[in-house]
A and B are shown apart, each in its own frame.
Chain A
Amino acid sequence: MNGSPNGGAAPAEPRPTTGGSFLHDTWTVFLREVTPVVREPLGLAFSMVQPLLFLFLFGPLLGGAGGFAGGQSPWQWFVPGILVMLCLFGPMMSGYTLLVELLGGSLERMLVSPLNRTAMLIGRTLKESAVLAVQAVLIVALAVPLGFEPHWLGALAGTALLTVFGVGLGALSFVLAMASQPDGELFYGVTQMLLFPLLLLSGVLLPLDHGPVWLQAAAAVNPVSYVAEAARALFAGSFTEAAVLHGASAAAAVALAGLVLGTRRMRRGAR
């Protein structure tokens, strides 16, 4: 963008007459979102408090619950679930930050700039996935001393799967935030209504195998339970299990739906 200096009294800085490329714009949005995290990394730990509480205060109880196939350590079963939980809470919160920016004026200001509308969504979701990946690594690192033995390549694949899922959830939460204008009540209502049923019906906290039939039926239509199953399989290194395919499909479907809806909503602008 550095053109020739224009003459006269005006400073030599060129006046941009067009916005940047799609990549430039995506990186710009990503940078804007990630800068506060880099400046204050403690905030990252703060958003991990809930999953960490479950890991340390709930996880040890599972040892006594029994019912884990093949004498497996409950950590093998529980840690991937905690990561799924992270995936649910993080992106939902990202919709909240967007909502705050919508209700303030900062998103409007960016909508008046030539920033690419799709880049505005992709940049934000990229930041969510970066944060998720870092948090996943931290959780796994904390769980290993407790007795968690991940298959390392599988763990990488599992994290990738969860990241894709998180991108989708993040984008959907952005759509919800934009639809919640002007007061944001819809956002709070829907997230409150959805978050815990999705979590409880995913078998993340306790296996659903012994639950009543209706509960299992409800879990069968919950994409989160497929993602959780797939994450468990991957973290154990079982790449060829059918659960991996199902979970990957569920995550991809959520990601696709989120990105399509999100891009369409961003293009329409703030209102």
Chain B
Amino acid sequence: MINARGLTRSFKIKRKTVEAVRGLDIDVEPGQLVAFLGPNGAGKSTSLRMLTTLLPPTSGTATVAGCDIATDPEGVRARIGYVGQRSGAGENLRVRDELANQGRCYGMAGAPARRRADEVLESLDLAPLAQRKPGTLSGGQRRRLDIALGLVHRPPLLFLDEPTTGLDPHSRASVWEHILRLRERHGTTLFLTTHYLEEADTMAERVVVIDEGRVIADGTADRLKSDLAGDRISLVPRDGADITAVADTAARMFGAHEVTAGSGGRIEARVPRAETALPELLRVLEADGVETAAATTSRPTLDDVFLALTGRSLVEGEPAEGAAL
């Protein structure tokens, strides 16, 4: 569905060349749900804009839905849907009018376009809002309208640029419900960007992590976590125990660079499989005569993956250290 090779894009900003995307290679199979994950400015939107023919690449090639983005942009446009970061509905038009016009933009005649508008209104639970203007809709309703606009021509491939950014949890859930239903019913290939970690984690079957214009990881969320971050063990020895001795023991077992001393006398270790590593550690410590006050294990988050890859946290404003639990 998508095959990109060496896509790059640079911008000139105040006489300085900024490389927004540096060599994107990606293949997406029909029916996949791919989440493009990365911090702001990582090159997610620029990549999407290239794949959707909005922005010509500086170099590299890509075929999208069977058409080359450089030599046959019209072919690409006819076969894809695009839900941009900003709202796609014009402020002056009523919801149904805009949807019907969108059908005409894809070559439909007036009557079929209006019928199709009613269908998408129905399927995105927007029917009661058909005669309203976008300005009177809530954030979540507006976003559903944007998705409806992207679906009018039944594209086999839909791009969504941050579909849920800025929405409250309830609206986010509703938008996701519709996205997933779409996939279930029509097998639509979905390619979306997000900077919400939980979303990429729970919804996408494939997560592509991008940072500074390059893909730095690609796989299922579970796979990325096991390969790149590992589980976490957190252990608090009983009062009076020799913390450094405990840390040494853990370091001996799991490797020195995997063990850190957390706050409150806590020892933390990163291990491939916490459920087997923890009992082992407890046994060794007991044999050494160290008693344990508390012990927990946790699965890593995608933020841990990002942290392991870049040394930075994806969550804004949060320092890289102390990301435990």
User: A: which residues have CB within 8 A of B?
Assistant: 1-2, 10-11, 13, 15-20, 24-25, 28, 31-32, 35-36, 39, 97, 100-101, 103-106, 108-115, 269-271
Contact = CB atoms under 8 A, between A and B. Distances in A.
Interface in B73-114: 74, 77-80, 82, 84-94, 97-98, 101-102, 104-109, 112
Given A1-B112, A19-B77, A269-B55, A100 B91 contact: yes
Contact of B88 (A18, A35, A106, A114): A106
16 contacts: A13-B112, A15-B153, A16-B78, A16-B106, A16-B107, A16-B108, A18-B74, A35-B93, A35-B97, A39-B97, A104-B88, A106-B87, A109-B102, A112-B52, A112-B53, A271-B55
A271 B54 contact: yes
B91 to A, nearest CB: 7
B106 A104 contact: no
B149 A109 contact: yes
Contact of A19 (B52, B84, B107): B107
B67 to A, nearest CB: 10
Contacts of B116: 13
A20 B93 CA distance: 22
B190 to A, nearest CB: 16
B231 to A, nearest CB: 41
Nearest to A9: B185
Contact of B108 (A1, A101, A270): A1
Contact of B84 (A100, A101, A105, A115): A105
Contact of B54 (A2, A15, A19, A112): A112
Nearest to B89: A106
B46 to A, nearest CB: 11
Given A19-B78, A105-B84, A110-B105, 6 more contacts: A16-B107, A19-B106, A32-B97, A36-B93, A39-B94, A270-B54
Given A39-B94, A104-B91, A112-B53, A20 B84 contact: no
B97 A1 contact: no
B214 interface: no
A218 B66 CA distance: 58
Contacts of B105: 19, 25, 28, 110, 113-115
Contacts of A115: 105
B106 A113 contact: yes
User: Would you list the 4 A-B pairs with minimal beta carbon distance, nearest first?
Assistant: A105-B86, A109-B88, A20-B107, A36-B92
Given A1-B112, A106-B90, A24 B153 contact: no
Nearest to B78: A114
A109 B77 CA distance: 11
B154 interface: yes
